[in-house]
Structure 1
Amino acid sequence: MFKSSFIVMIINMLSRILGLVREMIIGSVFGATGMTDAYFSATKIPNFFTTLFGEGSLGTVFIPIYNRGIEEQGKERTDEFVFSVLNLIVAFTSTMSILMILFSRQILKITTKFTDSERFETANILLKIVAFYFLFIALSGVVSSLLNNYKKFAVAASMGIVFNLTIIIGTLFLKNKMGIYGLGVAYLLSGVFQLTMMLPQFFQIVRTYKFTFNLKDEYVVEMFKLMIPTLIGIFGYQINEIIDNRYATMLPKGTVSALNYASRLYLLPIGVFAISLSVVIFPTLSKAVIKNNMKTVRRVVHQGLYMLAFLIVPSSVVLFGYAQEIVALIYKRGHFTTKSVVITSETLQFYAIGLLFFSTIHLLTRSHYVFKDRTLPVISSFTAIGINIILDELLYKQYLHVGLTFATSFAAMVNFLILYTSLAKRYVKLRTFKYLVILIVTFAISGFSFYISKMVKLNLLGKFDIAINLMAFAVIYLLIWLILISIFRKDLIKKMLKRFLNRG
């Protein structure tokens, strides 16, 4: 599991770095303006459905049923199930995409509150352009989960790289001819390319393809029964984004863009660490539960929690403490002004507060799914939605963008607490005290590392000096952990080195 997680993390890190380059280029070319507000608001709609049906979300239902089908009836029979699912997705997503095009104005009136017609009309055209992205990315979600199940992690993880490269190239080559609409075209093409890149590996698994579907297939029926609560659970996080975006459109121009630019930064550690870990862990948990191997389930969940604490806590401290420097380094050029830096960095700080909760929710939700519990994540998700809406309404007028991001982080904390308590009491006997000790120690080490790294002031590279501070932080953080482990857990170092060398 360690080796697979490491490979996926490296690929996801490359993808997220490219994602930052993508945002840097968009920010430099278009800034944080009314046009980018329109673009980000328009792409929120297909993104909403993308997270529901793509990015491995369907896989949380699809993979356990697929694995059981292989065990019960063999691969040939289970391939029929795969064909049915994919063909039904084509029918459904095509219909939804057409409806998005036909009713784009009505959809935007619900999801935004633009006070000027220019932003609204721009968003309307962009939504029509990007609507069919939903079709390609939903198919990619199922195909990538199948590849992950066969340990073809690298191909599926590389899709983020394809997405980012397409947007980058599209922005640079289409900006003069099409302006902001060139971004929409590139966005749509990225979905086509992501699916196309996975097809060779997909056909190594299924060998052939049939354009038929059987609505009475027992596995299809079971999948769609389980899908409803699963999608409702995932719906919670997405609806929070839509709600925040709606309130942001009522604030000064550039606020929607600031939220998006800040979210790219806090999503970097989530994508590299949390999602990578969840993708690798989920098939292992699924198979362990099928075999009723609770010892493995408990071990894997604990490993996931501890690894996330080790990786995410320092990330949140860095993003909070160095928010303004990081935003200035990445975005401040071209049309991205000092005012944009201030708004984006303040937004980032409050996202950073909730980073541990955002990250761990992925693992806790999937841990419930392997026990076929779709109800609790739904309850937890809707509780978080309710809290987010109430806090948004109470805070947005007085605290603007900071109020919106605080509400999101607070709602994520509530979601985390509900999911963790449920998992610990009902399914896996978690070592809560040990987990709390690890969190406290990790926060203490991270805080100390930040304090020392902040003292490094060379003034050699201007705004790039932050890179030296970040390297100093990483070195101090890792060094302290190595010293502690060498004192208290010498056996752990030997075990990890032996495992790594044997697998390498």
Structure 2
Amino acid sequence: MLRSSRLNRTGGAAHFLRFKIEMKKNIMFIMIITVFIKILGFGREIVLTYFYGASRISDVYLVAQTIPTTIFALIGAGLVTTFIPIYSKVQKEKGDQEAQRFSSNVMNTVVILSSVIILLVLVFTPQVILLFASGFKGETLDLAVLFTRISIFGIAFSGLIYILNAYLQLKDNFVIPALISLPMNLVLIFSIYLSDLAGIEILAYGILASVVIQLLFIIPSVLKYRFKYKLVLDFKDPYLREMLLLSIPIIIGTSVNQLNVLVDKNIASNVALGGISALNYAYRLNVFINGLFVSPIITVVYPRIAKKVIDGDESGLKSMMNDAILYISLLVIPASVGAMVLARPIIEFLFMRGEFDSSAAAMTSQALFYYALGMLAIALRDVFSRIFYSYKDTKTPTVNAIIGVVLNIILNLILSRFMGIGGLALATSLSAMITTLLLIISLRRKVRNFGFRETFQKLFKVLLASLLMGLVAYVVFESLLVSIGSSKALILSILVSGAVYLVLVILLKVPEVMGILKLFKEKIQGLRKKKG
């Protein structure tokens, strides 16, 4: 019996090791895809700044794009976040057929909810716009109404995309969800270019078309898993009811989080002309970094965390949670330090062309600097929130989100008076730091002895390496600025400081880095054997 137990433990450990290696491969592969997608997405922002800069039209366009995204996020985030653990539960208890019926029921429910939202926005368009940009008046408001009444129809398609994306993740298909932004960005870039030739109304139709193309892109992949859509609408389904009940706190939490966006844009519209655009460009760069380094990790880890919780595998959960924290920190901490040190040259390199002038660059770089302070806090908050959701505890993240919004509003009103657009970004970062700390405290009560002490020791090494990297980046940039110009100096400083960071984390022997290097060595050796 003892030998059998040892064999089981050994086999289980080997299986878990293979599982972690496979997870690392998935994360790295998705990260490579995400690099390309995010660069394309950022190219979209550059095209927008080239044609419209930080102007009235760009402000209207961004608000028309933000409104459907923000409104549906109130419902979509709650439904999708709870869909993954409930689908896993249905599949385990009732099998694949019932799980597919449940998926169809959720999709039909989402379409009905989306239709109601669309009708409400169409009726109250001016009032909705003024919630997002109280500074809009006259022709600017009229144009925003026109744009929003076109873009709002994208909500109906977004709902289906959310569910189908989650479905693919449950099937361990992370490639298509990672690629889904590819057709969207291509359509948006083309529509921005076309609007300069055929009229600015094309911008609004481009927003709508970009969402439709995403749905058309994802459907073939879903059908490959023999997904059979059913025309079913059963509000009495206990699984749907459980999902909706769990969604309510998340919807509330997401609503108050989106209130942050609303308040930021509202105050920005009154702080300075082009303030919404400047804040948006900095925020988008912040989201770019988050999406590049954080989203691939969360995308792969979250379905597995949910499964660990359902299976009662607490040891596996702790290991996966700490791995996620460390991998995110390894990438986000140096990125945030680099963004702070090189904020102005980064913004000038990316946006300083066309209608984007030096005053817009000053506003945007100031916002980027202060957004960068909170990058890690925002990333870790996303990880911790999903752990609570996996435990079907949606109350704790909701209360945390409400606290965050209250803090953000108070700090916004105070800091924007003294720091302008930068104050809005700093308020976001400070509130994120405080709420993340509160989530950690709450998580320690739920998951005991999860090895945070060892994790923090590793994080200290990462922070030390990142600070030294930042110093190198600053020295290299300033030394080369006069002789070779800002753009070349920026590129060289990023390359040199990036190499320094890699060497430092290897010298400091951060285990996760050593594990990744080992994975690469094994891959190279495997390729050599195949050639041989």
* Residue equivalent to 1:467: 491
Give the Cα separation in 1 of the matches to 2:109 and 2:137.
39
User: 1:6-25, aligned counterparts within 5 Å?
Assistant: 6-25=28-47
Match of 2:236, SS? Answer: coil
* Residue equivalent to 1:185: 205
Give the Cα separation in 1 of the matches to 2:525 and 2:79.
34
Give the Cα separation in 2 of the matches to 1:47 and 1:253.
24
Give the Cα separation in 1 of the matches to 2:111 and 2:526.
40
What is the number of equivalent residue pairs in this alignment?
A: 501
Deviations 1:6-42 (A, max 9, x none): 1211122211111110000000100001221122222
Structure 1: which 5+ residue stretches go unaligned? Answer: none
User: 1:1-80, aligned counterparts within 5 Å?
Assistant: 1-54=23-76, 58-80=79-101
Give the C-alpha shift of residue 164 in structure 1. Answer: 1.2
Give the C-alpha shift of residue 490 in structure 1. Answer: 10
Give the C-alpha shift of residue 61 in structure 1. Answer: 0.5
Match of 1:403, SS? Answer: helix
Give the Cα separation in 2 of the matches to 1:294 and 1:433.
18
Give the C-alpha shift of residue 411 in structure 1. Answer: 0.8
User: 1:62-461, aligned counterparts within 5 Å?
Assistant: 62-114=83-135, 116-179=137-200, 181-456=201-476, 457-458=479-480, 459-460=483-484
TM-score w.r.t. length of structure 2:
0.90
Give the Cα separation in 2 of the matches to 1:236 and 1:353.
21
Give the C-alpha shift of residue 429 in structure 1. Answer: 2.6
Give the Cα separation in 1 of the matches to 2:367 and 2:230.
48
Deviations 1:349-383 (A, max 9, x none): 00001111111111110011111110000010000
Structure 2: which 5+ residue stretches go unaligned? Answer: 1-22, 528-532
* Structure-2 change in CA distance of 1:246 and 1:498 (3 Å): same
Whether the 8 Å contact between 2:54 and 2:278 is mirrored in structure 1 is: yes
Give the Cα separation in 1 of the matches to 2:447 and 2:127.
44
Give the Cα separation in 2 of the matches to 1:494 and 1:339.
44
* Structure-2 change in CA distance of 1:106 and 1:492 (3 Å): closer
Percent of pairs with identical residues: 27
Bigger mean CA deviation after superposition, 68-77 or 446-455: 446-455
Give the C-alpha shift of residue 240 in structure 1. Answer: 0.6
Give the Cα separation in 2 of the matches to 1:491 and 1:230.
37
Instruction: Tell me which amino acid in the other structure corresponds to 1:478.
Output: L
Give the C-alpha shift of residue 451 in structure 1. Answer: 1.5
* Structure-2 change in CA distance of 1:147 and 1:491 (3 Å): closer
* Residue equivalent to 1:477: 501
Deviations 1:372-408 (A, max 9, x none): 1100000100000011111112222332111111111
* Residue equivalent to 2:3: none
Match of 2:445, SS? Answer: helix
* Structure-2 change in CA distance of 1:471 and 1:103 (3 Å): same
Give the Cα separation in 1 of the matches to 2:415 and 2:518.
50
Whether the 8 Å contact between 2:52 and 2:355 is mirrored in structure 1 is: yes
* Structure-2 change in CA distance of 1:494 and 1:187 (3 Å): closer
Give the C-alpha shift of residue 57 in structure 1. Answer: 5.3
Whether the 8 Å contact between 2:506 and 2:514 is mirrored in structure 1 is: no
Give the C-alpha shift of residue 428 in structure 1. Answer: 4.6
Whether the 8 Å contact between 1:88 and 1:213 is mirrored in structure 2 is: yes
Deviations 1:413-452 (A, max 9, x none): 1111111111122225332333333333222211211222
Give the Cα separation in 1 of the matches to 2:300 and 2:517.
24
Give the C-alpha shift of residue 201 in structure 1. Answer: 1.3
* Structure-2 change in CA distance of 1:124 and 1:115 (3 Å): closer
Give the C-alpha shift of residue 463 in structure 1. Answer: 2.3
Whether the 8 Å contact between 2:461 and 2:508 is mirrored in structure 1 is: no
Instruction: Tell me which amino acid in the other structure corresponds to 1:285.
Output: I
> What is the RMSD of the two structures over their aligned residues, measured on CA atoms?
2.0
Match of 2:271, SS? Answer: coil
Match of 1:334, SS? Answer: coil
Instruction: Tell me which amino acid in the other structure corresponds to 1:100.
Output: V
Whether the 8 Å contact between 1:288 and 1:294 is mirrored in structure 2 is: yes
Bigger mean CA deviation after superposition, 322-331 or 467-476: 467-476
Give the C-alpha shift of residue 208 in structure 1. Answer: 2.5
Give the C-alpha shift of residue 97 in structure 1. Answer: 1.3
* Structure-2 change in CA distance of 1:83 and 1:444 (3 Å): same
Give the Cα separation in 2 of the matches to 1:493 and 1:474.
17
Give the Cα separation in 1 of the matches to 2:28 and 2:106.
31
Give the C-alpha shift of residue 138 in structure 1. Answer: 1.6
* Structure-2 change in CA distance of 1:490 and 1:24 (3 Å): closer
